[in-house]
Amino acid sequence: VKEFKDPTTIVVVGASGDLAHKKTFPALFSLYYHGLLPQRFHIVGYARKALDLEGWRSNILLNLACRVLDQKDCATKMEEFIERLSYMSGQYDSAEDFAKLDAYLEDLEDRQPTGRLFYLAIPPNVFGSAMGSIKASAVAKNAWTRVVVEKPFGRDTESYMELRDQCAAHFQEEQLYRIDHYVGKEVVQNMVVLRFANFIFEQLWCKENIRDMHIIFEENFGTEGRAGYFDQFGIIRDIMQNHLLQVLAYLTMERPKSLHAADINRVKTKLLSEIMPLKAKDFVVGQYEGYREEDGVPEGSVTPTFAACVMYINNQQWEGVPFFLTAGKNLHNRKAEVRVRFKKGHSMDFFPGEEVGNEIIIRIQPDEAVSLRVVNKVPGLAKDLAYTSLDLLYKDAFEKESKDIADAYERLILDAIHGEKSLFVHDEQLRISWELFTPALKELESEDSPVKPVLYTPGTKGPPEADDLRHIHRAMVEP
């Protein structure tokens, strides 16, 4: 990682909330621990509540961890880090309060030009007012100002556009860093390398050879006390429209001219705009039993906690290939992976009746891995054949590094400090993503929707109708 010399102040707005405690501060600590924060840095928490500094610091301390557990200096580093945090309270919509923050930061920065990174760990309904206050009173003097924001970026195209206009009224696109933490995951980053740095894969990656792809997100727990929030969005908005769609873009985009943000964004945006419009009939939705009884869920809620859908991409490389996305809570497993199934062609002469031929499985989490399913002759005098797997398990192949894989937030915050935008979601991509999903969401949420949520038992694979959807579309490619 290159050394970054600009003095930097990081202001976590919403510093008393869940996101800040669970993700932002632990990621900042890890960067600190690994010596990756700029040499001159300040971290300031800002939120509405007037909090006692020591109490706030000890709450943050509770969530800090070292990735490699046996590090002896961990506790000392945590103490050092905590001592460097300061806190200020103020309203989000108050330019005066932000002017006080500014005066405080000026002192902290010794009136030297210092870049300011504002991390908004606050709900989107206050993004606009907080950005307005920052712009009016707290931008950096003679140095860069950047603002990091995180989903939900609206509920549909219309609300996204409103939010976008509110943000754009105060900051330029270059200053806005929109996080989709799936993009920051190690294995998702490796997809670009696997595809474009390996001649064999690049040649195979097209409709002539690939039968379908399946991007799977499964959690073996429910909404974990967030049901009130979750119910307003549902699994399609929570996981599919953002995380899984971004993964799909990395899996299917054209080769970018370079790895620079502008080139990557160009091919991602192009790909997203080539996905065929989605309709309710392209989905299977489900809800786990017991969801409606959770705190914060309105009676009779039909919000899906499971969804499976099929997408097609209207370009030369992918025409006719089905892309399946599945996301669900309270299922039998916790995992995120991609399965790329190849056409069977004549290979099945050896294995009549086998449903799956060659397949690449890219496991995003847990236990990062890439494996390839191939046929081999079983050793021995008989002529038996068997499918076996060529496995690359990160924990074996990268024994040392895999113990210390950075959390997605660390990578993303570090990139935002460095001004490196390639892993952040461009405004245009979000607009297209919403345009893609909004009509289907409206249809699914209407009273006469042709597709209704199917109840499923927690701890299972979810509604079997999702398997049927895949069978039907697979059969259209290759019976």
- Where in the sequence numbering do the catalytic residues fall? 243
| Measured distance CA(471)–CA(416) in Å, rounded | 42
Closest distance of CB 114 from ligand BG6, Å: 31
Closest distance of CB 117 from ligand BG6, Å: 21
In the complex with ligand BG6, which residue's Cβ is closer, 216 or 264?
216
In the complex with ligand BG6, which residue's Cβ is closer, 181 or 363?
181
Which tokens sit at 153?
Answer: 């970026």
Q: In this structure, is the dihedral angle defined by the CA atoms of residues 129, 135, 137 and 140, taken in order, positive or negative? A: positive
CB-CB contact of 114 with 143 (8 Å): yes
Closest distance of CB 188 from ligand BG6, Å: 11
Closest distance of CB 184 from ligand BG6, Å: 9
Nearest to 475 by CA among 207, 204, 211, 205: 211
In the complex with ligand BG6, which residue's Cβ is closer, 163 or 321?
163
Q: List CB contacts of 467: < 8 A, sequence separation 6 or more.
A: none
For ligand BG6, the binding residues in 195-224 under the rule CB under 6 A are 219
- For residue 370, what are the CA distances in angstroms to 214, 227, 311? 15, 34, 24
In the complex with ligand BG6, which residue's Cβ is closer, 336 or 441?
336
In the complex with ligand BG6, which residue's Cβ is closer, 44 or 327?
327
Nearest position to ligand BG6, beta carbon? 238
In the complex with ligand BG6, which residue's Cβ is closer, 46 or 230?
230
Q: In this structure, is the dihedral angle defined by the CA atoms of residues 26, 30, 32 and 33, taken in order, positive or negative? A: positive
**Element of type H or E holding 137:** helix 127-137
Nearest to 179 by CA among 366, 414, 452, 441: 414
Closest distance of CB 282 from ligand BG6, Å: 22
CB-CB contact of 375 with 354 (8 Å): no
Nearest to 255 by CA among 309, 205, 323: 205
In the complex with ligand BG6, which residue's Cβ is closer, 104 or 233?
233
When binding is defined by CB under 6 A, the residue of 102, 238, 294, 368 that contacts ligand BG6 is: 238
Q: Which residues of 275-314 are buried (b: 16+ CB within 10 A; e: fewer)?
A: beebebebbbbbbbeebbebeebeeebbbbbbbbbbbbbe
For ligand BG6, the binding residues in 330-349 under the rule CB under 6 A are 336
Closest distance of CB 241 from ligand BG6, Å: 11
> 88 φ, ψ to 5°?
-135, 145
Q: How many residues bind ligand BG6 (CB under 6 A)?
A: 4
| Residue 231 touches ligand BG6, criterion: CB under 6 A | no
For ligand BG6, the binding residues in 163-192 under the rule CB under 6 A are 181
Q: List CB contacts of 183: < 8 A, sequence separation 6 or more.
A: 189, 246, 250, 408, 412, 423, 424, 425
| Measured distance CA(469)–CA(477) in Å, rounded | 13
Closest distance of CB 439 from ligand BG6, Å: 23
Residues near ligand BG6 (CB under 6 A) are 181, 219, 238, 336
